[in-house]
Chains A and B, each alone.
Chain A
């Protein structure tokens, strides 16, 4: 079969390279690339798809790693010979509407409510050996007492940092995982926003859903996002006892959904993306913020990335707004001047932040409408929802979509 050539809906400074629907798994969440293979978490069809992209013009799915049918594995991390994959009760199995999932924490959440852990769902983190890239081999599993993990940050090294929903807490919190022995990962530290530990008598005092999404680490500092709970900066010198340096929240007045924080420590900047979690006619526009972090204890928001305006994305419908940032992983492309971000119905966007006070858009790639639809949530708008991006050192990048398969595109900008 000849390699497919797909014309983007619109593009600037990006060129189409390849695309695959990944067989029956066109739904992509987080994506990692290692040794010419893309590992794509499947949000709706479950499990992880392995795609051979050694010829990026003709990527082909070569393997699929299943997950428990009532769990999902929507986030993963690769580095060297290891891949870490979350397993968590699939909330969309019970809470099908976006508002139910994003609007607030689950009332009286407890793993017992959803059956017997290990039997009715799986909850924890699976470790795979990917030294044979097409054939990941499970080598370890860390089960947690709760409903599972949401997302992990691990870029090599001994410790991984994840969001976990543990029994007794109102929602996801930070956990620190020791990978000294990758076959026996161990939960060694926890941190939550005071008010989340219901079993300890704490009482939440906030509107919306305060839940740890994930955090990135630079040095001894973790920059963490808490959906409607904003940003925390934590001192993690002591892995067993992370300490709060500062907590900032701009919801309200802004719309919450704080999703990813990308530290650019060489420039003392921090980017923070607020995820669009509902259709654009159902919530206010979200932004990706630029913070000055010269004073770690006093992060100051100085600007936002410009909102895509090359077409009327409000009229296009569905989610319009930030989702993920390319997180400058050590095996991939690294820059403190150039930012790649997924923007859901507005595709992938590139921003020049050399002047952090006036960021500029310098490129975009908007895939055409999805050819199939596997997102089973009711009432969803049938448009592209560009989700995650992995950027290789040479500017070749891999973007996922809730329904449109895996795109491989090339950055042609400066």
Chain B
């Protein structure tokens, strides 16, 4: 089996252990691993996949749960017996009806959040659904407890906003709170610095009563959610322009009062500028200060490799997984997976890299996509085994040896 393992393009302090093409569902985005099973959101093939990864050297696809027609389930959250999965319009499918915020009739996709019981890890059973009116949900944050938080594109808003979902009864999820930036709701006048910018919540990460929201071209938005039904703005920082926007994750490291913020590339070959992973000092919640960035991979000329070159996700320190405020794992699109030592937060160092090979089969339906690795997400378990995805890259499993 291991003899079939593809050879990485580059590795440093990291070793490739296993690979699965997930029975053909190689279009992989968010990945969660729990109880020896990987839950993987698919972006193009309409659903999500489950693989038995109890032997990381021999991952085995065990299920594919199809989404309703014209619906994407690219992001999901697994915690204990619950799996929350986004439903949103599949913008890549020609069969999807056009989105017209004024017309609800004729919408041929599912919009909302599906809730599964995964007490049988390989056999999820849907127990609830939160419908929303609009394009749907993009990404969720849920690590147990009563509330889930998500980005949702709802009728009446110009982009994704934050919603708070009450899961007191997981069979009857309820939307209890909303937060958006002034200018996003119908009737409000926006004053965005980039007229063509995308001012839209990618997703929030919650610590205590604070939601750290990555707002794509809108940067970082810190929101007080002490009152779940009435979230309040604490502060808003944006660095596009001069930087290229695409803010994608904001991960608090509460024990060190730091915040890791990722900007995702929105164009190939760094045509929208070099995107970076930022370190913020977060000692003053209302005055986060950017203090450093992670060094960019320089072991190859990744701009010349083609496709996206830049950070996409960081491992988000979910409880039960690898939790560290000193070692940060990130995906870097065509530069694979990177690990950083941030013990000195002013001078982060790269301490590991794994660049899986370019896909042999290419699934991305978008026109003119270069056939290169495009790493999307990384999940690290408590033993330092990591699981990483990509647009046509299946599921790679690796180990950090640094």
Q: Chain A residues in contact with chain B, CB under 8 A? A: 249-250, 252-254, 268, 287, 292-295, 298, 300-304, 306-307, 357-358
> Contact between B241 and A298 (Cβ–Cβ < 8 Å)?
yes
> Contact between B291 and A304 (Cβ–Cβ < 8 Å)?
yes
> Contact between A300 and B290 (Cβ–Cβ < 8 Å)?
yes
Q: Which of A268, A294, A300 has the most CB of B within 10 A?
A: A300
CB contacts under 8 Å to A, within B257-307, are 257, 276, 281, 283-284, 287, 289-293, 295
Q: Does B243 contact A (CB under 8 A)?
A: yes
Of all chain A residues, which has the CB nearest B283?
A: A253
Other CB < 8 Å A-B pairs besides A252-B283, A304-B292, 14 of them?
A: A250-B281, A253-B281, A268-B242, A292-B239, A294-B242, A295-B242, A298-B193, A300-B290, A301-B290, A302-B292, A302-B293, A357-B292, A357-B295, A358-B347
Q: Does B346 contact A (CB under 8 A)?
A: yes
Complex CA distance for A298 and B239, rounded to whole angstroms: 7
Complex CA distance for A295 and B238, rounded to whole angstroms: 12
Complex CA distance for A53 and B395, rounded to whole angstroms: 70
Residues from chain A with Cβ under 8 Å of B239 in the complex: 292, 298, 300
Residues from chain A with Cβ under 8 Å of B292 in the complex: 302-304, 357
> Contact between A301 and B241 (Cβ–Cβ < 8 Å)?
no
**Option from A253, A300, A302 in Cβ contact (under 8 Å) with B284:** A253
Complex CA distance for A250 and B193, rounded to whole angstroms: 23
Of all chain A residues, which has the CB nearest B193?
A: A298
Check A357/B293 contact, CB under 8 A, given A252-B287, A253-B283, A253-B287: yes
> Contact between A253 and B346 (Cβ–Cβ < 8 Å)?
no
Of all chain B residues, which has the CB nearest A360?
A: B347
Residues from chain A with Cβ under 8 Å of B347 in the complex: 306, 358
Of all chain B residues, which has the CB nearest A293?
A: B242
Complex CA distance for A292 and B243, rounded to whole angstroms: 9
Of all chain A residues, which has the CB nearest B282?
A: A253
26 contacts between A and B (CB under 8 A): A249-B287, A250-B287, A252-B283, A252-B284, A252-B287, A253-B257, A253-B281, A253-B283, A253-B284, A254-B281, A287-B346, A292-B239, A292-B242, A292-B243, A293-B242, A298-B239, A298-B242, A300-B243, A301-B289, A302-B290, A302-B293, A303-B291, A304-B291, A306-B346, A306-B347, A357-B293
How many Å from the CB of A258 to the closest CB on chain B?
A: 13
How many Å from the CB of A42 to the closest CB on chain B?
A: 35
Q: Is the interface of B mostly helix, strand, loop or mixed?
A: loop
> Contact between A253 and B289 (Cβ–Cβ < 8 Å)?
yes
**Option from A250, A253, A295, A304 in Cβ contact (under 8 Å) with B241:** A295
Complex CA distance for A300 and B293, rounded to whole angstroms: 12
Of all chain B residues, which has the CB nearest A357?
A: B293
> Contact between B242 and A303 (Cβ–Cβ < 8 Å)?
no
Of all chain A residues, which has the CB nearest B276?
A: A357
Complex CA distance for A306 and B284, rounded to whole angstroms: 23
> Contact between A358 and B287 (Cβ–Cβ < 8 Å)?
no
> Contact between B289 and A250 (Cβ–Cβ < 8 Å)?
yes
How many Å from the CB of B334 to the closest CB on chain A?
A: 20
Contact mask B320-349 → A, CB, 8 Å, 1/0?
000000000000000000000000001100
Of all chain A residues, which has the CB nearest B293?
A: A357
CB-CB nearest 9 A-B residue pairs: A294-B242, A253-B283, A295-B242, A253-B284, A300-B239, A250-B289, A295-B241, A301-B290, A252-B284
Complex CA distance for A252 and B282, rounded to whole angstroms: 10
Complex CA distance for A118 and B295, rounded to whole angstroms: 57
Contact mask B220-261 → A, CB, 8 Å, 1/0?
000000000000000000110111000000000000010000
Complex CA distance for A303 and B243, rounded to whole angstroms: 14
Complex CA distance for A81 and B287, rounded to whole angstroms: 46
Residues from chain B with Cβ under 8 Å of A300 in the complex: 239, 242-243, 290
Complex CA distance for A249 and B193, rounded to whole angstroms: 21
Complex CA distance for A235 and B295, rounded to whole angstroms: 34
How many Å from the CB of B60 to the closest CB on chain A?
A: 43
Q: Which of A249, A252, A307 has the most CB of B within 10 A?
A: A252
> Contact between A294 and B295 (Cβ–Cβ < 8 Å)?
no
How many Å from the CB of A160 to the closest CB on chain B?
A: 31
How many Å from the CB of A306 to the closest CB on chain B?
A: 6
Of all chain A residues, which has the CB nearest B285?
A: A253
Residues from chain A with Cβ under 8 Å of B293 in the complex: 302-303, 357
How many Å from the CB of A247 to the closest CB on chain B?
A: 13
Residues from chain B with Cβ under 8 Å of A357 in the complex: 276, 292-293, 295
Residues from chain B with Cβ under 8 Å of A301 in the complex: 289-291
Complex CA distance for A298 and B291, rounded to whole angstroms: 15
Complex CA distance for A306 and B290, rounded to whole angstroms: 15
How many Å from the CB of B311 to the closest CB on chain A?
A: 14
How many Å from the CB of A353 to the closest CB on chain B?
A: 14
Complex CA distance for A307 and B345, rounded to whole angstroms: 12
Complex CA distance for A358 and B242, rounded to whole angstroms: 18
Complex CA distance for A369 and B334, rounded to whole angstroms: 53
Complex CA distance for A301 and B292, rounded to whole angstroms: 8
Residues from chain A with Cβ under 8 Å of B283 in the complex: 252-253
Residues from chain A with Cβ under 8 Å of B289 in the complex: 250, 253-254, 301
Complex CA distance for A412 and B287, rounded to whole angstroms: 41
How many Å from the CB of A175 to the closest CB on chain B?
A: 29
Complex CA distance for A253 and B291, rounded to whole angstroms: 12
Complex CA distance for A20 and B55, rounded to whole angstroms: 73
Complex CA distance for A306 and B315, rounded to whole angstroms: 27
Residues from chain A with Cβ under 8 Å of B287 in the complex: 249-250, 252-253
